[in-house]
Amino acid sequence: MSETRLYGLKNCDTCRKARAWMDGHGLPYAFIDYRAGPVGAEVLKDWARQVGGWEKLVNRSSTTWRGLPESSRQPAGEADWLALVVANPQLVRRPVLVTGDGRVSVGFSDPAWQARFRL
C-alpha cells in the first residue's frame, strides 16, 4: 500500500482544513500543490473517471469557472475538459484525496473522511 496523497492548492481554505484534519488524526500523507506541480493528463483522466466524470471533478461554481469565456464553459468532450483543466488547475474541486489503494475522492467532509479512514 502506497502513501496517501492529498492534492490541492497551498492557500485554499478547504485544503488547509483537510490537512489539519489529517494531522489531527495522525494520518501520514503527502500534500501536492497541483498549481506548483501540475498533474499529468492520465492522472486527471483517472480522477475524472473515478469521481463520476469531469462535471464532478471540476468546480463549476468557482470564480475561475465563472470568469471563463462562455465557449470554454461548454466542453464538447474529454479532450476539451482535459485542456481546460490543464490550463486552469484551480478548476479541480479541492482537495483531491488519493488513498494508498488508489481510490480517489474530491472535497472535504469530516463524516465522509472518518468513514473513508474507518475512524
Give the catalytic positions in this structure.
12
CA 27 to CA 60: how far, in whole Å?
Answer: 30
Give yes or no for a cis peptide into 75 (omega within 30° of 0).
no
Query: What is the enclosing helix (H) or strand (E) of 49?
Result: helix 41-51
